[in-house]
């Protein structure tokens, strides 16, 4: 029971703190207007260059933008606590780490799914891209897999936050790499071969491919391997993230750099 | 008086520039972040296979980078001063507040200037975009005027949002719409008719047209004049707004609390 309380109440409190305890309207410019802007920008670039369709760019950028809350939110699990001077207290508390971590990551993941779904629906409506109602649930599943993968990567970023002061820069760079290499805007076969190889090992790439297939009316059986790859990558990144968190926490404690990084 | 004003601009510009060089976010990110978008756009245009379109995108991508620096940094200038505890001092100082803010925005624009050069080199060396302006002097002047127009927009943005606590989110949200509206990567003619009216109201739209015209060896002076003229009008409006917003903030005691 206590485990569940820490997970839910701690998670919700931490999520509110992500936005500086201000009104939820802060979500509007950063997580609703900005993704729509990105979708429109690339859809029009596609029209101007004659590459891809509106549908390609709408779903590509909507799913890719789920990386924004997932990367930044997951990173804030560490950096936000340090800024509030609560990181040391949190690490010293007897609260189970898994409940603390999951409580902080779940709202972030759900936020990523919400942002991507909003971008997909609003972008489609603005650009006149038809959305089949029957595909919404499978697409949401693919988005959830992609958001899961990004949250795993965000956890690694969070761990690095124990050593690096300016994690916002790293989060932005990771977001940029995902934009460039995940196939959101540039078809994977148009990437230089070296970059295309890296792309397969990044979160989002497989989830995005699955989302495109499902949005086009493909079945779960067709998108299954891509979904599985995305989830496995997410688990892999998550395990690396948790391990790094543990290692760097021990190091930060022994070197007394928890608050100094 | 003029000498004092010039000294204020120079000292503030240099001080802010040095501070930004010490910040990974203000220094490095303003170069790297727009480069991701520029590279993505250039890759899409390369798939299209039209070398002229690639040059079009390369020029636009280089100029749009400056807006990244402005929208994210300039919008948060006064918030940062508030955080440092220097906003009240800045307001109370005998030096004109608008001039101090404008000098800070100028420093931000300078960092954006690096991004212009870096993106042009990137497009030329990595993508082989043909960038050889037919009128180099006019091209350079058009870039400078466009950068100044961006600085004016940043000035307006920074004073408009002085009483908005979560201004950091607003700056980021304005990045893409301005990239789209000003025709950096997509011709304005492709946008819906009602949007085009907004595009013409933004001075960088005209600056971008001048940059493209100078690059292609076409007359650029009319576009350049339009850019400078609209930017001057924005500057006057911003200076007036700065005074009005400050008077209101002082009257209501919200300068540091908002």
Q: What is the DSSP string of A68-81?
A: HHHHHHHHHHHHHH
Query: What pLDDT is stored for residue A94 in this prediction?
Result: 87
Q: Is the pLDDT of residue A179 over 90?
A: yes
Query: What pLDDT is stored for residue A22 in this prediction?
Result: 60
Distance CA B72, CA B78 (A): 12
- Residue that wins the pLDDT comparison between B127 and A26: B127
Report the mean per-residue pLDDT for chain B. 87
Domain extents for chain B? 2-252
Q: A53-111, pLDDT tens digit by residue?
A: 999 999 999 999 999 989 988 888 788 888 878 888 888 888 888 888 888 899 999 99
Q: A111-128, pLDDT tens digit by residue?
A: 999 999 999 999 999 999
Task: Indicate whether A247 belongs to any domain.
Answer: yes
Phi first, then psi: give them for residue B20, nearest 5 degrees. Answer: -65, -35
Rg (CA), chain B: 18
Structure tokens at B33: 């972040």
Task: Dihedral sign for Cα B189, B191, B196, B202, please.
Answer: negative
Interface test with B, best of A45, A57, A64, A165 (most B CBs within 10 A): A45
Helices (H) and strands (E) in chain A, counts: 13, 0
Q: Which of B45-59, B149-163, B186-200, B244-258 has the highest mean pLDDT?
A: B186-200
Between A and B, how many residue pairs show a Cβ–Cβ distance under 8 A? 106
Task: Indicate whether A12 belongs to any domain.
Answer: yes
Q: Does A169 sit within 8 Å of B24, measured CB to CB?
A: yes
Distance CA B58, CA B207 (A): 15
Query: What pLDDT is stored for residue B239 in this prediction?
Result: 87
Q: How many structural domains compose chain A?
A: 1
pLDDT category at A46 given cuts 50, 70, 90 is: very high
Q: Is the pLDDT of residue A6 over 90?
A: no
- Residue that wins the pLDDT comparison between A28 and A62: A62
Least confident window among A36-50, A223-237, B108-122: B108-122
The CA-CA-CA angle for residues B104, B108, B111, to 5°, reads 145
User: What does the buried/exposed string (b/e) look like for B39-51 if buried means 16 or more CB atoms within 10 Å of the residue's CB?
Assistant: bbbbbbbbbbeee
Q: B9-53, pLDDT tens digit by residue?
A: 999 999 988 888 887 777 777 788 888 999 999 999 998 888 888
123-152 in chain B: CB under 8 A from chain A = none
Residue A158 is part of which domain span? 2-255
Task: Indicate whether A231 belongs to any domain.
Answer: yes
Distance CA B145, CA B132 (A): 19
Task: Indicate whether A260 belongs to any domain.
Answer: no
The number of residues in chain A equals 261
32-61 in chain B: CB under 8 A from chain A = 32-33, 35-37, 39-41, 43-48, 50, 53, 57
Q: Is the pLDDT of residue A26 over 80?
A: no
Residues of A in contact with B36 (CB under 8 A): 175-177, 179-180
pLDDT category at B157 given cuts 50, 70, 90 is: confident
* Partner B contacted by A48 (CB < 8 A): yes
pLDDT category at B121 given cuts 50, 70, 90 is: very high
Task: Indicate whether A159 belongs to any domain.
Answer: yes
pTM of the predicted structure, to 2 decimals: 0.90
Distance CA A125, CA A86 (A): 43
Task: Indicate whether A219 belongs to any domain.
Answer: yes
Q: Which residue from B minimizes the CA distance to A166?
A: B24
């Amino acid at each position: 029971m206590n485990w569940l309380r820490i997970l839910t109440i701690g998670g919700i409190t931490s999520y509110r703190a992500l936005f500086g305890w201000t009104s939820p309207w802060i979500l509007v410019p950063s997580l609703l207007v900005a993704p729509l802007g990105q979708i429109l920008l690339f859809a029009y670039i596609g029209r101007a260059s004659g590459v891809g369709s509106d549908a390609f760019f709408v779903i590509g950028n909507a799913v890719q933008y789920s990386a924004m809350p997932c990367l930044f939110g997951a990173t804030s699990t560490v950096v936000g606590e340090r800024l509030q001077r609560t990181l040391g207290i949190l690490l010293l508390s007897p609260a189970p780490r898994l409940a603390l971590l999951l409580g902080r990551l779940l709202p972030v993941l759900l936020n990523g799914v919400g942002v991507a779904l909003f971008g997909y629906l609003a972008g489609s409506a603005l650009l006149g891209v038809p959305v089949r109602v029957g595909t919404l649930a499978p697409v949401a599943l693919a988005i959830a897999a992609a958001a899961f993968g990004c949250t795993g990567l965000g956890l690694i970023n969070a761990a690095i936050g124990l050593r690096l002061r300016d994690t916002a820069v790293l989060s932005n760079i990771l977001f940029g790499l995902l934009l460039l290499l995940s196939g959101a805007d540039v078809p994977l076969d148009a990437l230089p071969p070296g970059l295309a190889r890296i792309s397969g090992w990044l979160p989002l790439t497989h989830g995005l491919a699955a989302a495109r297939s499902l949005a086009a009316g493909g079945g779960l059986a067709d998108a299954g391997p891509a979904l599985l790859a995305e989830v496995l990558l997410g688990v892999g990144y998550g395990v690396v993230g948790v391990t790094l968190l543990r290692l760097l926490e021990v190091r930060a404690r022994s070197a007394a750099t928890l608050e100094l990084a | 008086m003029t000498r004092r004003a010039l000294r204020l601009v120079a000292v503030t510009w240099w001080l802010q520039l040095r501070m930004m060089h010490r910040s990974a976010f203000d220094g490095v990110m303003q170069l790297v972040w727009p480069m991701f978008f520029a590279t993505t756009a250039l890759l899409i245009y390369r798939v299209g296979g039209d070398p002229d379109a690639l040059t079009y995108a390369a020029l636009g991508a280089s100029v749009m980078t400056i807006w990244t620096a402005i929208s994210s940094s300039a919008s948060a200038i006064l918030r940062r001063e508030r955080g440092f505890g220097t906003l009240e001092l800045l307001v109370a100082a005998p030096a004109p507040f608008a001039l101090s803010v404008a000098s800070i925005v100028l420093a931000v624009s300078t960092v954006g200037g690096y991004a212009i050069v870096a993106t042009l080199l990137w497009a030329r060396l990595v993508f082989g975009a043909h960038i050889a302006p037919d009128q180099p002097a006019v091209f350079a002047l058009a870039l400078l005027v466009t950068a100044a127009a961006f600085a004016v927009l940043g000035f307006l943005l920074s004073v408009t949002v002085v009483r908005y606590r979560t201004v950091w989110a607003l700056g980021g949200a304005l990045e893409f719409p301005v990239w789209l509206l000003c025709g950096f990567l997509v011709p304005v003619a492709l946008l819906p008719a009602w949007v085009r009216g907004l595009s013409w109201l933004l001075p960088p739209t005209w600056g971008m047209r001048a940059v493209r015209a100078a690059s292609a060896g076409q007359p650029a002076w009319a576009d350049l004049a339009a850019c400078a003229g609209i930017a001057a009008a924005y500057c006057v409006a911003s200076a007036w707004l700065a005074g009005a917003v400050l008077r209101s903030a002082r009257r209501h005691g919200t300068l540091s609390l908002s």
